[in-house]
Amino acid sequence: MEICKHDQLCGGCVYQGVPYEEQLKIKEQEVLRLLKTKEITCGEILPIEPSPSQYRYRNKMEYTFGDMEKGGEMTLGMHRKKHFMSIVTVDECQLVHEDFNKILRATLDFCQQEGYTFYHKKSHKGLLRHLVVRRGVHTNELLVNLITSTEPGFDEEGYVRMLLELELENTLVGVLRTFNDSLADAVKCDELKTLWGRDYYMEKIMGLDFKVSAFSFFQTNVEAVEHLYSYALGLIDDFSGKVAFDLFCGTGTITQTLAKKAKKAVGVELVEEAVDAAKANAALNGLDNCEFIAGDVFEVLEQVADKPDVIVVDPPRMGIAPKALDKIISYGVEQIVYISCNPKTLVENLYYLQYYGYRVECLKPFDNFSGTKHVESVCRLSKIK
């Protein structure tokens, strides 16, 4: 593909114009550099796994209404590079399916024609705030969520009618409106209204069905994460008949995959809505040997009665807090599989685990977000006898 036309203004893709092999090398070298800096002893470091798709891989986008110049015409898209108050219309983005670009353009045109105003961050007045589009990659289902203030006058029926008339490759299954009057410039929900269809889309991942609601966390690059999860679970020697813990489990994809073989799988996640979704999805997949617990990982582990034989961790960007790490170490399990979305905090945690008797046997980086600076990694740690 050619260099994106939004590249000069949009801060989304830092590697526009950089050959893909070079992008992979940069990310791989960064992981190696951080491991060396922290003196992590690693049995085997495997080459970085490329993303199955370099383009059109994102299954969710959160766009903002605003303007490029103060007093200029309304825009809808991403924050401008180094200019937080300016919004760039990104209707030819290469990271999303073309249907996203069509929905963005049609929504902006509709709102401009109707003369609606966008919500001003300083005056806290105006109607339009955000547009969130989500897609089931394996189901071809689309969910559109328009976030507005409670200011009156929006033509809901007209908006739905306009979207239904669009020629899309995927199937639109729901149009939602979220009311948000909070002062923060973030997508928050005071009230959710279904304007048409349903308030969720379906997705399939690792042979499991997932019902993904408007505000559920879900992996952004489904095809890449299937490769990553398959590899990660393949690192565990054998978990059949064992108790497996999946910490920072999100909506429970790994927990449910573990449950297919394990005696019991326990998922722990801070975000309550994600845990509710995980429970619903486990029921959908007929898995009754899954338990999901909402709460801080350390606090939950202090109270839970089960003792794990295997532990999988998939923490957020900030990594695992020392108290939670201490608790994980105290179980003395033979194997820990660590899935990381931030190599900086990964090496901090590995240094700690190494000090307390674990050895990093193997590590493999994954490029799940081509064009961006992000790099994932998977490693297996074994308890030193």
Query: Residues with catalytic annotation?
Result: 341
Q: Is 118 annotated for ligand binding?
A: no
Q: Is 314 annotated for ligand binding?
A: yes
Rounded Cα gap, residues 88 and 102, in angstroms: 16
Q: Is 210 annotated for ligand binding?
A: no
Assigned token pair, 129: 């705030």
* Residue tagged 């328009």 (tokens): 146
Q: Is 23 annotated for ligand binding?
A: no
Give the residue from 89, 92, 93 showing the smallest Cα distance to 111. Answer: 89
Rounded Cα gap, residues 100 and 26, in angstroms: 29
Give the residue ranges of the annotated binding site: 219, 248, 269, 314
Give the residue ranges of the annotated binding site for S-adenosyl-L-methionine: 219, 248, 269, 314
